Structure 1
Amino acid sequence: MVVTGGFGTGRLALGSRIGFWLLLMAWNAFKWQLWFAWRVRKPADWPRASLAGTLVLNLSLPVEIALCGAAVGEPMRFDPLETWSRALAISAVIIVVASLVAWVLLRRPAAPAAGVPADGLLGRARVAPEALAAVEAEDHYCRVHRRDGHSALIHYRFGDALAELAGLDGAQVHRGVWVAAGAVEGAERDGRRWRLRLAGGAAVPVSATYAPEARRRRWLRAPPRPGA
């Protein structure tokens, strides 16, 4: 944008133009980070959050342009409607390119998960790693939760199951519960404790011992209020 002189910045001196775009891009990167941190709680939220952000976050763009211009000592004259239309066009191009890249990457065949033996817990439960939601200890058994809502009870030591699952993206959240990262759909309070809501409808507890790891993965966030 420094080279093309977007939003009428082509008339600015090079130093002022660079300063203007550094300020504007840094501020927009910051507010988009805050927006995604607020609105995205699972992978499926990204498209909806991106489209909503394109409309909501661009509303303040005319004011931001004026403030950035003033900051570099260059009063900016602009037409709000023209500014919004250009911003929407730029955002549309970015979203289309990002969607195409994501589509190409998602079409690639997934590599087999390393370290998951065919005769181990998942093999005996007939659950593919990508379909796994959680493993929950029940006495001397392990209940294997699938992301489609089904489950299987297998005679298996939970400690052995943890060793088998070490190569998958997930974490232990309770003394007897391991969850797959891609299966976490949200979190809810259960008194003073947290529970994770998983794909397929299962809900599992999070103990204080393992809560730091769940927080690090940004799983323990209350759902947005209705209408937010």
Structure 2
Amino acid sequence: MEDSPLQLAKREMQLSLRNKPVWVGLFAAGFILGLAGPFGTDQVLRLIPRLIYWTALTIGFYFVGSFIGTFLNRVFAAWNLPFWPSVVIAGAGAGLAIFLILMGINIALFDVPLDCATCHIILGANVVGISIIVTVAIVYIQQSLLQSAPVQEGAGAPAILKRLPLEKRGALVSMSVSDHYVEVVTEKGTELLLMRLTDAMGETGDTQGLQVHRSHWVALDAIKGARREGAKAVLTLTDGREIPASRTYVPSLKEAGVLPR
């Protein structure tokens, strides 16, 4: 049960909206650009309007680019295109969208000559190129974090709970793969974490649970019911959700007493 490209893009947006470092970085970048006044904005805007202009553009373009880039990258992945070419094409698509929005804003606010095709081509190439570079850099950093994510082992409380906000720390219910993230569900809420499912399972501590699918892990205490569907199975959890169990993991469910032998 993987998210659709649109659902994943929305989740990425929600994560960014709740991420304080992202907002700090965006305001800092907007402030620096406002002071520098690139692309001639220092000639047509005073300092305060220029700061507002660049801060608004930075925030808007970040979220537009992130949304479109994530959406396109997931679409290309569904088409089984090579990973890095997909990232580059997604970055170019996001850059093109940003360029069109930028042109619309500049036409509305400034006296932009529409007959200077060379000017628009140069600006578009710069925007698309920067978008590709930023997209590739972000994905590379994410991949590096995935490869270096530490697996914390030990008895007692699940170490993975330390990664969650305080208000969402509770008994583990399930963990599911969502692209590069793991959706951790507890009795107190849901959170997406940038890590691998195998690493997340290594941080469950004394919680008794089973991997029931290549994309799902469930806590045994959270299983309310189970039914067979051919060679596979479907688990009903205490929160009402249903999690599929693939044929590979049915023997483990039988061993745990979840399914009859």
Band the TM-score falls in, shorter-chain normalisation:
0.3 to 0.5
Higher RCO (C-alpha 8 Å, min separation 6): 1
Q: TM-score, normalised by structure 2?
A: 0.39
